Amino acid sequence: MKVNEQGLALIRKFEGLRTGAYRDVAGVWTIGYGHTSMAGSPRVGRGMKITRAEAASILARDVAGFAEGVASHVRVPLSDSQFSALVSFAYNVGLENFRKSSVLRAVNDGDRCAVPRRLSLWVKAGGKVLPGLINRRAAEGALFMQGTSPAVTADARQQRAPRREPVEPVQGRAMHRSSINLAAVLSAVTGVVSSLAAGVSDLAGIVDGRTLAIAAALIIVSAAIWIIRERRLKSLEEGI
């Protein structure tokens, strides 16, 4: 893994070139392409001046140091574009912040599609959100994803998506087990029996109206008891 020209261009663009020492937004003395004393020599202080050639030389040395630091924390193989994006990020926030970042965790977990989103969280300096950092994180995210093949991207998305168990169709109960259907059947039977009994009564004169009413009532009560029993069984089965 190495820092490619796209990565170097990204760092140069967002760091900018200043040949005279200045304090950055966090109040740290800086010179060249974002070089500070924390990155190593030369030590930066008030009134310091360098040439463009010196700035380029310092940048090359600093990038090499950050590349070594990033490589020591990354546990998975990366393309040069992916590696360059991470070096640019570490160059900006520092190796210690990079080591503790969710960006590195996502990389080492193989969740590469999450890297641009994790990068986008690092947009503050001096407690304020800076448009320049928003743009830089977006550029680093784009460079990182440039090194990610569509197959890997689809794979990662599939792994992150929660698994959905197939929904099995609800099986209907058999007609003789359904209390609703049973009630309808028994009601129909009651009507038929009542009609037949009435017909027989009219023809034979052996069954009076009171006996017919009692028979119909018994059938209806039997149907009600069966429905209550069926509903009770259903409740026990479904755990309601």
- We report the CATH number of the domain holding residue 16 as 1.10.530.40
Mean pLDDT in residue range 103-112: 96
Q: Counting beta carbons within 10 angstroms of the beta carbon of residue 161, is it exposed (0 to 12), middle (13 to 18) or buried (19 or more)?
A: exposed
Of the candidates 117, 135, 160, which is a domain's last residue? 160
Q: Are residues 224 and 197 in the same domain?
A: yes
Structure tokens at 200: 């027989």
Query: Facing residues of 18 across strands?
Result: 32
Range of the domain at 150: 5-160
Does residue 169 belong to any structural domain of this protein? Answer: no
Q: Which residue has the tokens 């040395």?
A: 61
pTM over 0.85? The answer is no
Q: Are residues 15 and 122 in the same domain?
A: yes
Residue 15 in this model has a pLDDT that exceeds 90: yes
Q: Are residues 146 and 180 in the same domain?
A: no
Across 23-32, 79-88, 93-102, 156-165, least confident range: 156-165
Q: Are residues 202 and 143 in the same domain?
A: no
Mean pLDDT in residue range 103-132: 94
CA 56 to CA 43: how far, in whole Å? 16
Q: Are residues 200 and 223 in the same domain?
A: yes
Does residue 151 belong to any structural domain of this protein? Answer: yes
Q: Strand runs (DSSP E) across 96-223, as ranges? A: 124-125, 128-129
Does residue 168 belong to any structural domain of this protein? Answer: no
Of the candidates 102, 130, 160, which is a domain's last residue? 160
Q: Are residues 183 and 90 in the same domain?
A: no
Q: How many domains does the chain have?
A: 2
Quick: pLDDT tens for 173-218: 333 344 444 444 445 444 544 554 444 444 444 445 556 567 666 7
Q: Are residues 45 and 137 in the same domain?
A: yes
More confident position, 167 or 25: 25
Does residue 11 belong to any structural domain of this protein? Answer: yes
pLDDT at 92: 93
H/E stretch holding 197 reads helix 179-204
pLDDT at 102: 96
Q: Are residues 216 and 129 in the same domain?
A: no
Q: Are residues 221 and 136 in the same domain?
A: no
Catalytic residue IDs: 15
Mean pLDDT in residue range 96-103: 96
pLDDT at 141: 97
Q: Which residue has the tokens 């393309």?
A: 79
